[in-house]
C-alpha cells in the first residue's frame, strides 16, 4: 500500500491495464504529447507509442465515434472527453450506438469501451465547464456509470471498467485530482457495482458519491460532535447499483439524506430518493431528503461557485434538521 493522489491512481490504472491487455488504446484531445487536460495520461505516449496513445482532432463526435467503431472490431478503447459538459456533442455516438449495439446485434457485437471524462466544480471554470451531468448517462439503458470518490476506488473501478463487456462512462471529479489517499493495487474497496459503507451510524443514512463523499464524511465528523451518528454510504457505481446495503441501512436508521453536487431537478439524487422511498416506506421516520446544487448555471466567481453546491456545513445542518435536533439557518 502506498500513498498517492487520485490523478496518479487513475494514471497507474491505465498503465497497468495497458501492460496487461495489448488491445487497450487511448484516444482524445491532447492525451498524448500534452498528457491530457489534467495530466492523467502524461508520459503514456512515451511508454506505449503513438499507435496506442492517439492525439485526436478537436472533434468530440469523431473521438467517441472512432472509439465505438474500434470497440466493435475487437479493441478496448479508452476515449477521453475533456469535460462532461461536452457530452451533448456525443449523445448519438454514446446513447444510440455504444449503448444499443450489443442488444441490437443479439450479443454478437459489443462495445467494450470506456469514456473517461471530468465533471464538477472547484476551478472557476464557469457554466460551460463545471457541470455534473451524470443523470444524462444514468438515464440511458446499456451504459454503465462510475464515479469514484477515493484514491483506491479511482484505481480499481477503472481497472474493473476495462474488463466490462458494455460501454462504461467513468466520470472523474476535477476537484479530486489532488486528493491524497492509500492505494493498494491488490485490494479493491468493494466489488464492482456494490455500494460501500464508509462510516457506520445509527441516526440517519447519507447516500452520496464522487466529491460529495468527502464532504459527507466531514459532515459526519461534525455531526458526531453534536451527538448524531450518520452512516455514510458511497454509491461508487451508479449503474450497475446493488441496492441491498442501501435499503438495509435506511431500514435500520429510519432516515435518508441523498447528497449530490448536481442540480437536484431530474438528478441521480432524485432517482435514488425515489427508490429508497418505494423500498423503505414502512421503515422511514421522515421523508427522504435530497440535497444538491442550485438549479442555476454554475457561476464563475469562486464565492458564488462554492455557494451553488453543498458543502460539509450544509450537509451537517440538513442532517440535524432531518433528525429534528435543530433547524438549519435556511429553514
Task: Supply the residues annotated as catalytic.
Answer: 60, 129
Q: Exposure pattern of 281-316 as b/e (b: 16+ CB <10 Å)? A: eeebeeebbbbbbeeeebbeeeeebeebbbebebbb
Residue 137: all three cell numbers together: 448517462
Return d(Cα 102, Cα 68) in angstroms, integer. Answer: 12
- For residue 94, what is the DSSP state? I
d(C-alpha 317, C-alpha 259), whole Å: 13
Confirm if 97 and 68 have CB atoms less than 8 A apart. Answer: yes
At 129, is the secondary structure helix, strand, or coil? coil
Distance of alpha carbon 59 from the chain centroid: 24
Amino acid at each position: 500500500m502506498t500513498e498517492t493522489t487520485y490523478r496518479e491512481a487513475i494514471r497507474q490504472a491505465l498503465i497497468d491495464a495497458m501492460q496487461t491487455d495489448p488491445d487497450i488504446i487511448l484516444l482524445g484531445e491532447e492525451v498524448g504529447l500534452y498528457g491530457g487536460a489534467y495530466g492523467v495520461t502524461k508520459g503514456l505516449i512515451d511508454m506505449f507509442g503513438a499507435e496506442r496513445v492517439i492525439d485526436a482532432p478537436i472533434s468530440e463526435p469523431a473521438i467517441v465515434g472512432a472509439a465505438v467503431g474500434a470497440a466493435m472490431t475487437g479493441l478496448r478503447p479508452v476515449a477521453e472527453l475533456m469535460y462532461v459538459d461536452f457530452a451533448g456533442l456525443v449523445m448519438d455516438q454514446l446513447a444510440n450506438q455504444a449503448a444499443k449495439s450489443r442488444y441490437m446485434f443479439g450479443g454478437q457485437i459489443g462495445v467494450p469501451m470506456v469514456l473517461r471524462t471530468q465533471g464538477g466544480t472547484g476551478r472557476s471554470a464557469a457554466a460551460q465547464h463545471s457541470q455534473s451531468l451524470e443523470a444524462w448517462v444514468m438515464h440511458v439503458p446499456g451504459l454503465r456509470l462510475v464515479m469514484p470518490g477515493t484514491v483506491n476506488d479511482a484505481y480499481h473501478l477503472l481497472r474493473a471498467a476495462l474488463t466490462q463487456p458494455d460501454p462504461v462512462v467513468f466520470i472523474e471529479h476535477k476537484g479530486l485530482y489532488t486528493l491524497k489517499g492509500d492505494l493498494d493495487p491488490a485490494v479493491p474497496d468493494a466489488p464492482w457495482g456494490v455500494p460501500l459503507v464508509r462510516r457506520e451510524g445509527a441516526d440517519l443514512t447519507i447516500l452520496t458519491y464522487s466529491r460529495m463523499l468527502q464532504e459527507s464524511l466531514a459532515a459526519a465528523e461534525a455531526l458526531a460532535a453534536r451527538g448524531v451518528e450518520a452512516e455514510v454510504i458511497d454509491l461508487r457505481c451508479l449503474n450497475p447499483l446493488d441496492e441491498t446495503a442501501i435499503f438495509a441501512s435506511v431500514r435500520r436508521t429510519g432516515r435518508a439524506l441523498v447528497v449530490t453536487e448536481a442540480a437536484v431537478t431530474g438528478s441521480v439524487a432524485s432517482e435514488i430518493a425515489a427508490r429508497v422511498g418505494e423500498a423503505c416506506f414502512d421503515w422511514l421516520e421522515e421523508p427522504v431528503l435530497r440535497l444538491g446544487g442550485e438549479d442555476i448555471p454554475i457561476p464563475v466567481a469562486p464565492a458564488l461557485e462554492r455557494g451553488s453546491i453543498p458543502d460539509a456545513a450544509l450537509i451537517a445542518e440538513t442532517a440535524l434538521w432531518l433528525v429534528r435536533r435543530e433547524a438549519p439557518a435556511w429553514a
